[in-house]
Amino acid sequence: MTVVDQVRVAPVTVARNLRLGDLGAALAAGWKDFLANPAYGLFFSAVYVLGGMLLYYGLVERGELMWLTLAAAGFPLLAPFTAVGLYEVSRRREAGLPVGWGVVLGAVRGRGDDQILMMGIVVFMSFAFWVVLARGIFAIFMGTSGIGAETLGQIATGQGAVMLLVGSAVGAMLALAFFSITVISLPMLVDRRIDFITAIITSLATVRSNTLVLLAWAVLIAVSLFTAMLPLFLGLFLVLPVLGHATWHLYRRAVSHPTP
């Protein structure tokens, strides 16, 4: 990147010339990382899939179909945190360092400064906020019908269609905000000893400087995750690790650190 293609965000610079071709290059590099170390991708995907299945069967067993719908819509919000270990795999491969279970699992702890833990709290609070917000939207449109009641017939009504439209719009805005604060911040926290606030600011600056390209990346992630979740979450065993590794490579393209 040349100087004119960067914008300073202390203590780093971020690119403002990302192209759609960079997304393809990141996906290709992510695919190579997955093939080189498939066990880690499959492991973290299994954790995510198992959580989804437990959520699914627990809510179906209790007959709370609407809660299942809300949870499924917000479940992809947890994917970036699940991918932290994958960022470490890609980081170590790029640096020519050995990859082992100890260092990969230890990546979730960050660099001993609790910054990734703080981001994890932000992630889970965002998921909880979405569920509460979506429940409120349901209550506004469906009144006293109850979130645990049969909902297919209700959704088929005009009022139900409006509820879905409003809920989708609100959910999309929340998902975009969440994407903007995590797409760069989480791999950055794996890569560098930096506070999570600075990492979030860097992530927002990168999205602001490359809005169209990163919006395309957000849409690709959303479509890929939802499609992969349809066959009992099984598609996530491929999609989640490739997207996780690819996000690392996109971060490396977007953020330039000063030479020590």
DSSP line for 117-141:
HHHHHHHHHHHHHHHHHHHHHHHHH
Q: What is the DSSP letter of 7?
A: E
* CA 166/CA 160 separation, integer angstroms: 10
Percent of the residues in the chain that have a pLDDT greater than 70, as a whole number: 77
Sheet of strand 6-9: strand arrangement: 6-9, 12-15, 255-256
Residues 30/31/34/36 CA torsion (nearest 10 deg): -110
Q: Which residue has the higher pLDDT, 144 or 72?
A: 72
Q: Is residue 76 part of a domain?
A: yes
8 in any annotated domain: no
Give tens-digit pLDDT for 165-206. 777 787 778 888 888 999 999 999 999 888 889 999 999 999
* Residue-number span of the structural domain to which 40 is assigned: 13-256
pLDDT value at residue 232: 72
Residue 3 included in any domain:
no
Note the pLDDT of residue 244: 93
Instruction: Give the helix/strand (H/E) hosting 15.
Output: strand 12-15
Is residue 89 a part of any domain in this protein?
yes
Rank 15-24, 80-89, 157-166 by mean pLDDT and report only the highest.
15-24
For residue 68, what pLDDT band results from cuts at 50, 70 and 90? low
User: What mean pLDDT comes out for the span 94-106?
Assistant: 91
**Position 5 in a domain:** no
Looking at the structure of the chain, the number of domains it has is 1
- Asked whether residue 234 is domain-assigned, the answer is yes
- Its pTM stands at 0.81
CB 82 within 8 A of CB 240: yes
